Amino acid sequence: MPMTDNSAGKTGAAPEGVRARDRLALLTADNAAVPLPTGVQAITAILLAVLLIALPWLGLGYRFLSIAITTLYTAIGLYGLGLQFGQAGIMSVGHAALMGVGAYASAILSVQLGLGFWTSLPFAMALSAIVGGVIGLPTLRVGGQHYIIITFCFCALFVIVLTNGGTFTGSATGLDVGSVTPLPGINFDKLSNNYYLVLAALFLALAATYLIGISRYGRTLRAIRENEQLARSVGINVDLHKLGVLMVSGLFAGLAGVLQLYYLRHISPTLFGAFPSLYLALMVMLGGARYLYGPLIGAVVVNFLPEVLNLDPVDSRIAYGVCLLLVILLLPGGVGAGIKNVYCAVRGGFEKQGGGTNGRA
């Protein structure tokens, strides 16, 4: 399940001469973990895919499916945040604003030029990526905490600009769009079809995250995360890599924003303000940014918990804050790390019984 471990194992097994940067990646990989067999990974992935695809047929009702859609498009945005935080170690607390850039770009294109979902999507994603990169420029100069504050400022500024933007941005009331342009034979007005649209995008995001995680690029990012100076000294272009991951993260955010826009059909500035941004940051911490399914777990927990516990909004937010404190204090790696530890402990236990090597959690 964790995407960081196997990649290091593969590099270690690679017969060709290990270059300096690979050696750095090896050094910096999460070496405390037991490498999971790919078979388990594949089974987990298939089970998850089957579950997600079968969800609309389980007869759980309209409300459940609505929350599921919200969860999924949030998770897509979270995968971007997970990449930049989990892989490169750059946290942002203005990520909802980046989703807002995509959503508003798409909505404005729709209102001003009449572009539909499919035609505005590439522009919206590109704009989000560019904005993500531009906000990221200061992080090359200043430390991580300063970048966090800059993202927060950006988020607050974004809302002020939208609110004061007149008819162009729809001011405080926001903008409306039509429904997703139907593909031949598929009408996205139906909720389950909308669900599959978002689900397809989530699978894309998952696949992209996995591929980045096991690629040389992902390893380089982790090397930068672990020791930026060392990475720089072995000749890695740290600035370029950081900007790159921030732009990829922006792409994800743009995609999530457009999906959110066309699911809600109406957007207003408060959807992309400080609170949603903080929630995104909390979700990614809660789930565990370094694990492939971490962001998804975070999104599911946060979106479904109030529903399951049947709390009113005030209580659910208090419960949420308490959960967050507990996770940070007890499970600093998020729920994903917790699940992995349990898995490794169980597996280690089995191996000990079978007289195998010790698998330490």
Partner 1 sequence: MDIFVQQLVNSLSVASVTILIGIGITLIFGLAGIVNFAHGEFLMVGGMATWFMVGAGMNFFVALVLAGLLVGALGFAAERCLFRFTLNRPMNGFIMSIGLSVILQHAVIRVFNEFQKSITDPVGLVWTIGGVDIIAMRAIVVAVTAVIVAITYFGISRSRYGMALRASVSDRDTAELMGIPVRRYVTGVFIYGSLLAGIGGALMISLFPITPFTGSVIIIRGFAVSLIGGLGNVGGAVVGGLVLGLVDGLSAGYGYPEWTDAYSLVVMILILVLRPQGLLGGTLGPKAS
Q: Which residues bind partner 1 (CB under 8 A)?
A: 91, 93, 137-138, 141-146, 148-150, 152-154, 156-157, 160-161, 163-164, 274, 278, 281-282, 285, 314-315, 317-318, 320-322, 324-325, 328-329, 332
Q: CA–CA distance from 150 to each of 135, 144, 153, 250, 253 (Å)?
A: 8, 10, 5, 16, 18
Compute the least distance from the CB of residue 230 to partner 1, in Å: 15
Cβ–Cβ contacts within 10 Å for residue 166, how many?
8
In the complex with partner 1, the residue whose CB is nearer, 124 or 283, is 283
Compute the least distance from the CB of residue 239 to partner 1, in Å: 15
Between β-strands 266-267 and 175-176, what pairing exists: parallel, antiparallel or unpaired? antiparallel
Compute the least distance from the CB of residue 328 to partner 1, in Å: 5
In the complex with partner 1, the residue whose CB is nearer, 50 or 328, is 328
Helices (H), the chain: 3-13, 20-28, 38-54, 62-82, 95-113, 117-136, 144-163, 166-169, 191-214, 216-226, 228-233, 238-264, 274-287, 294-309, 313-330, 334-353
Compute the least distance from the CB of residue 90 to partner 1, in Å: 10
In the complex with partner 1, the residue whose CB is nearer, 163 or 268, is 163
Q: How far apart are CA 59 and CA 29, in angstroms?
A: 43
Listed in sequence order, the residues at least 6 apart from 19 whose beta carbon sits closer than 8 Å to its beta carbon are none
Compute the least distance from the CB of residue 298 to partner 1, in Å: 12
Compute the least distance from the CB of residue 96 to partner 1, in Å: 14
In the complex with partner 1, the residue whose CB is nearer, 58 or 160, is 160
In the complex with partner 1, the residue whose CB is nearer, 124 or 289, is 289
Compute the least distance from the CB of residue 31 to partner 1, in Å: 19
In the complex with partner 1, the residue whose CB is nearer, 146 or 352, is 146
In the complex with partner 1, the residue whose CB is nearer, 79 or 154, is 154
Report the DSSP beta bridge partners of residue 183: 186
Q: How far apart are CA 267 and CA 110, in angstroms?
A: 13
Burial of 28 (0-12, 13-18, 19+ CB in 10 A): buried
